[in-house]
Chains A and B, each alone.
Chain A
Amino acid sequence: MAGAETATYDLGFAKWVAGNISGADKLSMCMQCGMCSGSCPIGTQMDHGPRKLIMMIRAGMRDAVLSANTLWNCTQCYNCTVRCPRGIPVTEILQGLATVAVAEGHAGGEPTARFSEAFWWSLAKFGRTDERLVTSRFYFSAGLAEGVRKSRENLAIALRMIKARRMHLGAPHKIKRRKNLQAILAKAREIEARGAGEGD
């Protein structure tokens, strides 16, 4: 992140987060006790635990927050959320930040972002997620070679899933009224693009 000696605290980002991320209106109540980070099953693999990420939001470190791998490594176990003594929905706030990070191009090649892209592609196109298609789209999202490598690596699992009739090889699972769903999603994106506080 930016050179420490020149960091400037700027409440603008914290205010923006509070107003635009679902659940983040409670962020100001954080007392930095660290229960969230201490409860995180994968916190040791994060650049910053949730506690510190919240402090960084307060400190106005926008880029550092949105490029933190915290957003991608969250397993959504909700331990932090149910244990927070101040009732802050930490998981929900991390989800909201992840969405912003993707939209603003901070996600890079993060697997979570690529996986989500594949997932959303399937559900928006067919109305349902077809695990086989999502998985292979995800594998190949990192390039052809990587896709082939991953596919071969996981071939054994795939074959066993097929054998157990838990993965199918036929046409994708689809809903009937796909146009209807797609219209809803398009409208929702349009509403969201209007931004907070505008037109609603």
Chain B
Amino acid sequence: MAEAAKTAVYLCAGCGIGEAVSIEALEAVATGESKASSCRRHDHLCDDAGVATIQADIDSGAAERIVIAACSERVNADRFRFDGTPPIRCDLRERVAWSQPPGAEDTQMLAADYVRMALAEAEKSAPPSGQADPGTSKTILVVGGGVSGLTAALESARAGYQVMLVERASDLGGHGAKWSKRMPHRPPYRLPQDNDIGALIAAVTAEPRITVHTRSRVVSTAGGPGRFLVTLDSGGTTIEETLGAIVVATGWRPYDATKLGHLGYGASPDVVTGVELETMLGAGELACKSDGRRPAAVAFIQCAGSRDPDHLPYCSSICCGVSIKQALMIRERVPDSSVYIIHDELRTPGTAEAFYRAAQAAGVIFMKGKVSAVGADLTVTVEDVLLGETVAMAGLDLVVLATGMMPNATAPEAEAIAPQPAPDIDPLAPILAAGATVPEPGSEDASEDDSGPEIGSILNLQYRQGPHLPILADGFADSHFLCFPYETRRSGIYTCGPVRRPMDMAESATDATGAALKAIQAIEAAAAGTALHPRGGDLSFPRINLDPCTKCRRCTVECPFGAIDESDDDYPVVEVARCRRCGTCMGACPVRTISFENYSVEMVSAMIKAVEVPDEFAEKPRVLVLACRNDAIPALDMAGISGTRYSPFARVVPVRCLGSVSALWISDALSTGYDGVILMGCKAGDDYQCHFVKGSAITQERMGKIAETLKSMMLEEERVVTHEVAIADARRAPELIDSFLDTIAEIGPNPFKGF
């Protein structure tokens, strides 16, 4: 198919390319040895005339496949967009003209190789033909009717989308409806503000695009973006609905204060949690529970069960502000009261500093210290680090424990009897050689499905990875806060508010707006049949030729998004809407039967082999760099933009994710005479930055296998290295390449050169 296509090459001479290399010589490479059907040069290919030239060739039928040999694929994507004819981009600017000395022989060789590689890519790929039946539902399911869920629903509706809002309780509002005042979120940020959640509830109720289901829960979620099949139990009635995207805003619950006996909880009715104090403050006259007296001396104990390895290890971020709010309210209601806030570190960032100062000015006393005990008579024993003494505070009427927030990443009612599920990015699925024993479905499911049967699930996902939302640290259903906020590792399902990380009402509202926008993106991408972030716009998807398939299940197990499942006869089936097009399945497949129309094992092999490898006497080594498109490629681009020079002997092939790297590419490179291979991927581990969750982690696993391959080829292990490269590593990435070439110089040329 691709062999018959007319491939046109467009060589740009602008931005210094024309000065760095001989365009004429590249034309000869393109049309001569590489058999391009036509080749044009242009001084500024991205200008109107340049773009018009390309369009004219497409229109006349002279160009069926186009190779744009100009700048990085990361720039001018909008200029070089031709409907139905996606270009192959060949970077002669950032990776050649801007990072190599102009006019040098090695620079010319580098550029020529990139042209050859691009033509190989053109030959071995085709424009994606797209999906036959994309999902079409544009309704957003919002789970949770607190501040986050209400805001997500309202923002989605106001953007024109239908919303189904599901709330377990009989009323909307969640925790937020319980507070009589809220922390200030408007200038001058000094005093508690009236709780305006009533207006939010009214707006949601009045919004015609929102359908509210109270006393409801999700009993089953199947499908994927654009066609989630969701079953609700709504007050005993079963409702089935096809939905486009899901926002989970199930919020939080307070830490169980009965575990805080050492802080007096349970010993006296006048030791209460902050949440319980809210109820007391909302009841009008403030009165002690024991005898109804007005509390004249009140102590707040911050970090009660927080930042404590025996309880919650993290900071809930809002408790300092909440206690300040409550202290100010007590000072207002009981003007002659003494109110103490005993804290370790007081955390009042940003505008909360004004709130803290207002409390100081109002006479609230802040004490830095660790509370070791609270007696039944409310005597608080505190190691006051500012006085350097242990003191027993007597005469208190009320002790308030500022307890932390716990995420409702699982359904709350089952929490008491089950532990939190462990993060599901580990353990990695085992990497098996072709033909090796397939693990029993039962044992494999046990490692993937992290649910205990007794834990309630929010969505009851019908995914092979189990029914739960993935969680990151400390039970929060979060993802990387910078790289992919709101994402859950389940495509089309987003979280916002305190289920994601501890936050207050104002932050939750902002967060919900972000998640709503992500949900809308997912719906529109699903409808267009394209991938989600970060491969937005990609129409390709994995195509599996089942003939050679050994049913080894590695693709189904390793897919980070649960997009591949087994059919009844154990063959892999792709749920395209869930697929993120990372190619991890492709890299996993031992028989290489998974490919994308525009990305395949064969295509990259052809690119690798297209490079001209000089013999060992030329003393021009060659190194293959398989670089992740998300971080390593931008880092190398920035190196070029900043004019960083690095070795002309490296040949860079962008890959979708290190997870997509096939071991064949490495053996191809080494048998072709490359002296070594560098794999550049994203950060792995608990704080991973891989957009596809575990690409780098999988690669590290696979490196063991690659080392064996090297050994069998009698090659040194040092010839293949893996590095984690972040997007900001513009200085480091070229250094890694240069230092790898030093290593190659030490161990000598690849003995396979020339064979």
Name A's B-contacting residues (CB within 8 A). Answer: 4-11, 14-15, 28-32, 51-52, 55-56, 58-59
Q: Name B364's closest neighbour in chain A (CB-CB).
A: A28
- Of the candidates B387, B390, B393, which one forms a contact with A56 in the assembled complex, judged by CB atoms under 8 Å apart? B387
- In the bound assembly, the distance between CA atoms of A9 and B393 in angstroms comes to 6
Contact B357 A11 (CB under 8 A): no
Q: Give the complex CA separation of A14 and B366 in angstroms.
A: 13
Q: Is the CB of A28 within 8 A of B387?
A: no
- Contact (Cβ within 8 A) A6 B392: yes
Q: Which residue of A lies closest to B346 (CB)?
A: A31
**B393, A11: Cβ atoms closer than 8 Å:** no
Asked whether, in the complex, the Cβ of B393 is within 8 Å of the Cβ of A31, the reply is no
Which of A8, A31, A32, A52 is B388 in contact with, Cβ under 8 Å?
A52
Closest to B363 in A: A28
* A59 interface neighbour in B357, B384, B390, Cβ under 8 Å: B384
Contact status of A11 and B392, CB under 8 A, knowing A28-B360, A29-B360: no
What mask results when residues 390 to 411 of chain B are scored 1 for a CB within 8 Å of chain A, else 0? Answer: 1111110000000000000000
**Residues on B with beta carbons closer than 8 Å to the beta carbon of A28:** 360-365
Give the residues in chain B near A7, CB-CB below 8 Å. 389, 391-392
Residue-wise, chain B 364-379 has the 8 Å CB interface mask toward A (1 for contact) of 1111100000000000
Of all chain A residues, the one with the shortest Cβ separation from B395 is A8
CB contact between B365 and one of A6, A14, A51, A52 (< 8 Å): that residue = A14
Q: Scoring B residues 341 to 371 as 1 if CB is less than 8 Å from chain A, else 0, what string do you get?
A: 0000000000000000100111111111000
Is A59 a contact of B360 with CB atoms below 8 Å? no
User: Is B4 among interface residues, defined by CB-CB distance under 8 A?
Assistant: no
20 contacts between A and B (CB under 8 A): A4-B389, A4-B390, A5-B390, A8-B391, A8-B393, A8-B394, A8-B395, A9-B338, A9-B391, A10-B395, A11-B363, A11-B365, A14-B365, A28-B360, A28-B363, A32-B386, A51-B386, A56-B387, A58-B367, A59-B384
Cα distance, A15 to B367, chains bound together (Å)? 16
Residue of A nearest to B359 (CB): A28
**B interface residue numbers (CB < 8 A to A):** 338, 340, 357, 360-368, 384, 386-395
Sample of 5 more A-B contacts, CB < 8 Å, known A55-B387, A59-B384: A8-B391, A10-B338, A29-B361, A55-B386, A56-B387
Chain B: CB-nearest residue to A59: B387
A32 to B366, CA, bound (A): 9
Within the complex, what minimum Cβ distance (angstroms) separates B256 from chain A? 29
Complex alpha-carbon distance, A4 and B364, angstroms:
23
B365 near A58 (CB under 8 angstroms)? yes
A32 adjacent to B368 (CB under 8 Å): yes
User: In the assembly, what is the distance between CA of A9 and CA of B340, in Å?
Assistant: 10
| B391 contact set on A, CB distance < 8 A | 4-5, 7-9, 59
Distance (whole angstroms) from the CB of B399 to the closest CB of chain A: 13
The distance in angstroms between the C-alpha atoms of A14 and B364, with both chains bound, is 11
* Cα distance, A14 to B386, chains bound together (Å): 16
Q: Give every chain A residue within 8 A of B367 (Cβ-Cβ).
A: 9, 58
Question: Would you call A8 and B366 a contact (CB within 8 A)?
Answer: no
A115 to B360 alpha-carbon distance, docked (Å): 37
The answer to whether A8 and B386 touch across the interface, beta carbons within 8 angstroms, is no
- Whole-angstrom distance between the Cβ of B278 and the nearest chain A Cβ: 25
Question: With A and B bound together, what is the CA distance between A58 and B393 in angstroms?
Answer: 13
CA A36 – CA B363 in complex, angstroms? 21
- List chain A residues, Cβ under 8 A from B390: 4-5
7 A-B pairs closest in CB distance: A11-B338, A7-B391, A55-B386, A4-B389, A8-B394, A9-B393, A29-B360
Nearest opposing residue in chain B for A54, CB measure: B386
* Shortest Cβ distance from residue B289 to the other chain A in the assembled complex, whole angstroms: 23
Q: How far is the CB of B363 from chain A (nearest CB, A)?
A: 6
Known: A29-B360, A29-B361. A52 touches B387 (CB 8 A): yes
Given the complex of chains A and B, what is the CA–CA distance between A6 and B384 in angstroms?
13
Query: In whole angstroms, how far apart are the Cα atoms of A52 and B361 in the complex?
Result: 19
Chain A residues near B389 (CB, 8 Å)? 4, 7
Given contacts A11-B338, A29-B361, A58-B365, contact A52 B394 (CB under 8 A): no
- Chain A residues with CB under 8 Å of B368's CB are 32
Residues of A within 8 A of B362 (CB): 28
Contact partners of B388 in chain A: CB under 8 A:
52
Query: Can you name the residue of chain B whose Cβ is closest to the Cβ of A51?
Result: B386
Residues on A with C-beta less than 8 A from B394 are 8
Q: Which residue of B lies closest to A7 (CB)?
A: B391
A6–B379 alpha-carbon span in the complex (Å): 10
Contact yes or no, A8 B357, CB < 8 A: no
Task: Give min CB distance, A53 to chain B, whole Å.
Answer: 10
CB distance B387 to A31 under 8 Å?
A: no
Alpha-carbon separation in the docked complex, A8 to B363 (Å) = 18
Of residues B338, B360, B386, which shows the largest number of chain A Cβ atoms within 10 Å of its Cβ? B386
- Tell me, rounded to whole Å, the shortest Cβ–Cβ distance linking B407 to chain A: 32
> Using Cβ atoms and an 8 Å threshold, which residues of chain B touch A32?
366, 368, 386
Once bound together, how far apart are the Cα atoms of A5 and B386, in whole Å?
Answer: 16
Who on chain B is nearest to A56 by CB? B387
Q: Which residues of B contact A5 (CB under 8 A)?
A: 390-392
